[in-house]
Structure 1
């Protein structure tokens, strides 16, 4: 039995009795990466296997990792293994259980992460910190970009490496919605005027949760009226009008709000099958290929709202329990390279917006990004992100999700 498999047995036993909160308590101090030159890190990485735990429901993302990123890692002497999961919380639970069990060569080496999972993990010492400054390709990002320095209000502080930009986006079928709404409250009004043609994923689905936060901001009169940092006083003041508005909407949702899609993938399937006229995503650049391959209707368009939507970034984090952290750093650095960022940006590959600062690239690399084809479906990132607002702090997520469950889902 291998060391990693023996440790898995211990972790499996711990996981039975370990909740996220319980595992978070014992040792919250961050584990700092040992100082090393990049050549030393690259030498240590050769021969290592890196397990990348990531959401398994994104077919394009899975294919990109398997067919593009993994071969590049292999050339650097690292075997990259993608581990599909239903929710990032599954990876975090495993890491916290390993940390409590004293595991130092755990099952998770790299995680596609952001938001409340990153914040929860930071509080519990789940992530290796102080390693991103060693990545040569970090020099190609803007160190002052707020999307890359804070993650749902939690300072990144070298504990995760940026992977791509995201923008919460509502999507509609222009053939079915010839006169689309122009702001978020208008979306809710449209849904009530068109019974059965709209719904949203049930929190704690990642996309469902952000829909609830967007609704909170809109019902509250705009982002200036919702403090980024959570307080119980602000929640008690702002949440009741939100739940009242969502309950008013409920009878006019798909299946009269008797049930909700459990995941964003389920909502996407409803949209693709013509059962609803809108869907929503954090990764709008993927829409181009979904229309091109016939998955989505040809008249699919992005709903650009005058009041803007949430913008953030996705990251790669290394668990403090990883025994292959050198290999994980090599993979994270590759993922930031102009070659990988460009390939990932191609609509037919994954269609994700780059985190690189194009002004820091060579003329050749910059020209390659400039030559990416314009999408007939998705506007350029600078248009899509116009009037974008910051994510609320991670501490807002769980109370809003639980409040929605109690006050909307369970309401008569």
Structure 2
């Protein structure tokens, strides 16, 4: 009888504790479960089972309303229906994301608030080198193994930095410029023609102030155009070495200043500001990493149908943006399931159709039916054909060179 009472007393104590913990929607949360089997040891089917009923947080830039709508109203419902996973989108600039992640890790938070992260470039390098990311994980994803060319440098390198399985590709980007051909029939095909365009239309051309992502890309494109790109792919991150290498481009940009908006004394604070200036007719050229942004804006009525994208004949920089997993994520299983789904042909085709994002899948690995889904996408008006676009795709330079170039630009170009 005493034994029975003891058991009942233990049960009474345990039940409230279990009930209190039942609302935490995370996979691999309890320490007992972690001891039994870690996510590193799980098969993908076991990951799916562990992630059922959980919530995955996806942190990243929230400034693209078309993307936000797609994530909330297309991707999230699919994840809920197929896997019983709730997707929670958390809009936040990447520097804030990494600051929050660093604080949680340093504070010893094992079940952190951040699961998936939209990231690339110097931010990825910094996070990986500071042991803030979980991985490698891509080899555990069936869709990565089945549909992605894991040997392609767009997948193995992020701004020339080895990925080593700590990121999965999310979408491809490529730098393009655009103009309203009804107002300006000229479409500059080189840095020299770009300067001539600015001279013809003084005050009607500019680019975002660095370190804005798009403004920085424009400056690197000018560097590639005037200095070549090969030397930068293996260049050491020495400021004076880089300063000497980019000198012709900095001189070009200084000489361009007098013809720019506000005579180059100041620059728009962001690509969003420049977009608004272009839409309002304050400037005649816009630039973006979104290769098909013109089609999206024309379809939305933000741009007239006479807007046309273009690129320099020598090519423009392309890169890949990625998804990573926080090192202290409380739901690594759910994050891997979500990233795997993002790499499915159906989801990549949906992104291509809805947002005109260049897909990251290897076309040769797709079935005829899957290829047909991509071929059926109408890229819309004002775009560069994909074959032409990718034929002029230039590699990104090493991530550690980028902030140094931005410093040199601030010293040698701003207000000069």
Work out whether the TM-score is over 0.5: yes
Match for residue 369 of structure 2 among 361, 364, 384:
364
Match for residue 62 of structure 1 among 68, 71, 77:
68
Q: State which drifts further: 380-389 or 162-171.
A: 380-389
The answer on 1:132 being equivalent to 2:138 is: yes
Distance 1:122 1:192 in 2: 44
Distance 1:134 1:40 in 2: 11
| Alignment match, 2:232 | 226
Distance 1:33 1:382 in 2: 40
Match for residue 375 of structure 1 among 353, 376, 380:
380
The answer on 1:307 being equivalent to 2:314 is: yes
| Structure 1 residue 58: Cα displacement | 0.8
Q: How does 1:337-348 map to 2 (within 5 A)?
A: 337-346=344-353
| Structure 1 residue 125: Cα displacement | 1.2
**Unaligned ranges ≥5, structure 1:** 4-31
Distance 2:292 2:204 in 1: 24
Q: 1:273 to 1:34 in 2, by over 3 A?
A: same
1:77-116 CA distance string (max 9 Å, x none)? 111111112x322212221222222222222111111111
| Alignment match, 1:177 | 184
Distance 2:296 2:315 in 1: 24
Match for residue 215 of structure 1 among 222, 225, 237:
222
Give SS of 2:269's match. coil
Q: State which drifts further: 278-287 or 262-271.
A: 278-287
Distance 2:196 2:214 in 1: 20
Match for residue 106 of structure 2 among 100, 111, 116:
100
Distance 1:230 1:240 in 2: 16
User: Is the Cα–Cα contact under 8 Å of residues 132 and 326 in structure 2 kept in the other structure?
Assistant: yes
| Structure 1 residue 379: Cα displacement | 2.3
Give SS of 1:35's match. coil
The answer on 1:389 being equivalent to 2:387 is: no
**How many residue pairs align between the two structures?**
378
User: Is the Cα–Cα contact under 8 Å of residues 309 and 385 in structure 1 kept in the other structure?
Assistant: no
Q: How does 1:153-172 map to 2 (within 5 A)?
A: 153-172=160-179
| Alignment match, 1:195 | 202
Using the size of structure 1 for normalisation, the TM-score is 0.87
Q: State which drifts further: 233-242 or 56-65.
A: 233-242
Match for residue 329 of structure 1 among 336, 341, 357:
336
The answer on 1:116 being equivalent to 2:122 is: yes
Distance 1:106 1:179 in 2: 52
Distance 2:230 2:399 in 1: 18
Give SS of 1:289's match. helix
| Alignment match, 1:10 | none
Match for residue 248 of structure 2 among 238, 241, 257:
241
The answer on 1:406 being equivalent to 2:411 is: yes
| Structure 1 residue 225: Cα displacement | 4.2
User: Is the Cα–Cα contact under 8 Å of residues 185 and 218 in structure 1 kept in the other structure?
Assistant: no
User: Is the Cα–Cα contact under 8 Å of residues 174 and 317 in structure 2 kept in the other structure?
Assistant: yes
| Alignment match, 2:285 | 278
Give SS of 2:225's match. helix
User: Is the Cα–Cα contact under 8 Å of residues 160 and 233 in structure 2 kept in the other structure?
Assistant: no
1:323-346 CA distance string (max 9 Å, x none)? 111111111111111111111111
User: Is the Cα–Cα contact under 8 Å of residues 52 and 110 in structure 1 kept in the other structure?
Assistant: yes
Distance 1:381 1:211 in 2: 20
Match for residue 352 of structure 1 among 357, 361, 368:
357
RMSD over aligned Cα atoms: 1.9
Distance 2:319 2:393 in 1: 9
Distance 2:370 2:248 in 1: 49
Q: 1:393 to 1:300 in 2, by over 3 A?
A: same
| Structure 1 residue 383: Cα displacement | 1.0
1:241-294 CA distance string (max 9 Å, x none)? 332222221221112223212111111111111111111111122321211221
| Alignment match, 1:14 | none
